[in-house]
Amino acid sequence: MAPDEGRAETALLLRKTRFQDLLDHLVQAGYRVIGPTVREGVVTYDEIHRVEQIPRGWVDLQEPGKYRLRYDKNNPFWFSFTPGPISLKRYLFPPTQTLFRVRRDNGRPRAEAVIPDPPRYAFLGVRGCDVRAVAVQDRVYIDRQGQFSDSYYAKARERCLIIAVECQTFADTCFCTSMGSGPQVQSGADLVLTELPDAFVVRSLSDKGQAIVSALELPPAAPEQVAEADQAVREAAGSMERRVDTTDIRNLLLRNLENPRWEEVAKRCIACANCTMVCPTCFCFTVQEVTDLSGENIERRRVQDSCFNPEFSYAFGTIVRQTVSSRYRQWLTHKFATWYDQFGTPGCVGCGRCITWCPVGIDVTEELQAIRNSDGERGASA
Amino acid sequence: MGKKPRVGVFKFASCDGCQLSLLDCEEELLEIADRVEVAYFLEATRLPLTGSFDLALVEGSISTPEQVEQIHDIRARSRVLVTIGACATAGGIQALRNFASVHEFLRLVYATPEYVETLATSTPIADHVPVDFELRGCPVNKTQLLELISATLAGRRPNIPRHSVCIDCKRAGITCLPVAYGVPCLGPVTQSGCGVLCPSYNRGCYGCFGPAQLTNVQGLVQAYRRAGVPEDELDRLFHTFNAWAPGFRESTRPVPKETEGNTEH
Ligand code: SF4
Ligand code: SF4
Ligand code: SF4
Ligand code: SF4
């Protein structure tokens, strides 16, 4: 395990008794700390200030169409849960944003940009899948040549700090190992924390991360501590049961556009769009123009949208994807096939959210396997 | 602007709740009154029904022979006819009669049923005359009503979504009731528009805005059956204000074939 040994050299130790110092330091350094906390029966990402707000000892149960939380008072671990419905997408690409307003001023229209300045977020407790999801969204919203970047997203990203926590337990719906996004975190975060019963092994992957650990003057972790922490993550990775066979998956899907499975899943899928809304990489939005009664004030808004919304495919005066099968096919083939063409990676990071939060429990991993099993079959066209 | 647009507000079989949504727009109402001529609105004025209308807002369903004639008259007088509320767009709660015998109900409820003149069904306005826009809801949402009027005055298409409640529920960051608590919710197959009222108070969606566009009601019925929702509860869920809306209509009950006396003269 060469890379792990390399990482071990720089590993530091953060005792749980000092975790509050980390939170305090982040606030002092001007960050708004967004971390996991329990709200309305689920683990969400929200602003936190105190360690008590972290769902220490809480364990989630997730399966297709079902989410439950339970508290285990004998559990010494602080991060025994996996992501809930909310991802960093909510903060980096807010669900609704007003872009500009136009009002009539002495008969002349005057436009005023109203995009707010993003806060400096410190995202804490981000899992491997969600760290990768941010990298996937970066390719959508940030233009490396700097020409066509989304200004809010790019600025929020530049300012933010990501503190990852590697998973040692996972939900039935997780399949990050298949998508290569977890549970280990090798890149994309500023700091990576790996949990022990009484401390965290801390690794810094960036200058921003280094500045934090230097300020906290963390001691080095003992080699046994590093080995124990890494072993726990490796074991978790090894026991993950849900899998997606990604072999040639792009071509598999694109040669099966007429597969009868699309019709079959369309009997169960209710096109509610929950899967795309909770997906941390789905990036679609629509733009609305709103006037007031006087017609003097106009506002342009951007709101998150979904390919399951029939109007999403409204073009040339009609809705192109009328059938649920065509909309389901759009979603699955975008995530696992055409995303490669657009951005060079899959659009899925294996977080399992779309499986848990589908109210009828449709499971992308099962659908992909069904297509693979019936490769080449043709039904009535979707 | 030249002459102010003439607006009429009309009522058929309904509870007046949707018209009250209009009256509830207190502040904006002054502005509306300024921009349009409210030429007929029994809830607010006592002007007689005369002339033609640029915009007719129609509340209520068609449930008597007399109403069938009236709606044709209003259509003939109106340039744009918009139906407002579940009664006008789907037949309302009173469309539950469509699944049973109205004569049985009459016998049970009234001492002298022969004095009651009624149709066997309660049907939406669009079953009788062409409708330009249907504003859903029980009652309609005030913000949507104002958006509809603003859009009509500005000559643009109203920003009124036809997608599921879930899209707005997720935008609002509300915890999903069926998934997290096992509470049945009609949001996945219901058109959004209420501002996700019930889920934000931990109540499953009641389907006040009727079926979402191109949805799959049967998919949800089957899923709730699999999840063990009792059949009578499921039936009640789909048979309220929008019981007669296509999709909800066939959800859990066999659809009555040719509902007798089905209206058009
Ligand atoms: S497709 Fe599903 S599993 Fe994959 S990233 Fe999106 S929500 Fe997660
Ligand atoms: S799957 Fe649908 S909502 Fe998600 S990014 Fe693709 S087109 Fe957009
Ligand atoms: S797959 Fe599930 S969550 Fe996605 S649109 Fe279909 S029913 Fe809704
Ligand atoms: S609570 Fe209801 S409306 Fe909201 S996402 Fe869940 S099913 Fe949809």
Q: Is A309 on the interface with B (CB under 8 A)?
A: yes
Per the CB < 8 A criterion, the answer to whether A337 and A254 are in contact is yes
Tens digits of per-residue pLDDT, B135-187?
Answer: 999 999 998 998 898 888 778 888 899 999 999 999 999 999 999 999 999 99
For every residue of chain B, DSSP letters joined together read: --SPPEEEEEE-BS-SHHHHHHHT-HHHHHHHHHHSEEEEETTT------S-EEEEEEESBB-SHHHHHHHHHHHHHEEEEEEESHHHHH--GGGGGGGS-HHHHHHHH-SSGGG----S--B-GGGTS--SEEE-BTTB-HHHHHHHHHHHHHTS------SBHHHHHHHTTPPPHHHHH----SGGGBBP-S-SHHHHTT-----TT-BPTT--HHHHHHHHHHTT--HHHHHHHHSSTTTTSTTTTTSSSPPPSS-TT-S--
Per the CB < 8 A criterion, the answer to whether B139 and B24 are in contact is no
Tens digits of per-residue pLDDT, A145-154?
Answer: 878 899 999 9
Q: What domains sit in chain B, N to C, each tagged with a CATH number?
A: 6-154 (3.40.50.700), 165-238 (no CATH)
Per the CB < 8 A criterion, the answer to whether B173 and B191 are in contact is no
Q: How far apart are the C-alpha atoms of B207 and B243, rounded to whole Å?
A: 9
What is the best residue among B177, B198, B217 to mutate for testing ligand 4's pocket, by most ligand atoms within 8 Å of CB? Answer: B177
Question: Which ligand neighbours the alpha carbon of A65 most closely?
Answer: 3
Q: Which residues of B touch A356 (CB under 8 A)?
A: 179
Whether residue A2 has pLDDT greater than 70: no
Closest-CA distance, B174 to chain A, in angstroms, reads 8
What is the interface size between A and B, counted as CB pairs within 8 Å? 142
Token pair 């309305």: residue: A40
Q: How far apart are the C-alpha atoms of B109 and B93, rounded to whole Å?
A: 17
Tens digits of per-residue pLDDT, B46-94?
Answer: 778 889 999 999 999 999 999 999 999 999 999 999 999 999 999 999 9
Whether residue A223 has pLDDT greater than 60: yes
What is the best residue among B167, B169, B209 to mutate for testing ligand 4's pocket, by most ligand atoms within 8 Å of CB? Answer: B169
Q: Ligand 2 centroid vs A279 CA: distance in angstroms?
A: 9
Question: Which ligand neighbours the alpha carbon of B164 most closely?
Answer: 4
Interface TM-score (ipTM) > 0.90: yes
Q: Decide: helix, strand or coil at residue A296.
A: coil
Tens digits of per-residue pLDDT, A82-95?
Answer: 999 999 999 999 99
Indicate the DSSP class of residue A118. P
Q: Cβ–Cβ of A309/B167 closer than 8 Å?
A: yes
Rounded mean pLDDT, A349-354:
98
**Is the Cβ atom of A364 under 6 angstroms away from ligand 1?**
yes
- Structure confidence at residue A9 as a pLDDT band (50, 70, 90): low
Q: How far apart are the C-alpha atoms of A170 and A312, rounded to whole Å?
A: 34
Indicate the DSSP class of residue A171. -
**Is the Cβ atom of A312 under 6 angstroms away from ligand 3?**
no
Residue to substitute from B171, B176, B177, interface A, most A β-carbons within 10 A: B176
Q: Distance between alpha carbon B149 and the CA centroid of its chain, in Å?
A: 17
pTM of the entire structure?
0.94
- The pLDDT value recorded for residue B177 is 97
Q: Which residues of B touch A86 (CB under 8 A)?
A: 173
- The pLDDT value recorded for residue A4 is 45
Q: Chain B neighbours among A 83-102 (CB < 8 Å)?
A: 85-86, 90, 95-96
Nearest residue on chain B to A356, alpha-carbon basis: B179
For every residue of A322-354, DSSP letters joined together read: -SHHHHHHHHHHIIIIIHHHHHSS-S-----HH
- Residue A370: name the closest of A242, A250, A240, A262 by CA: A262
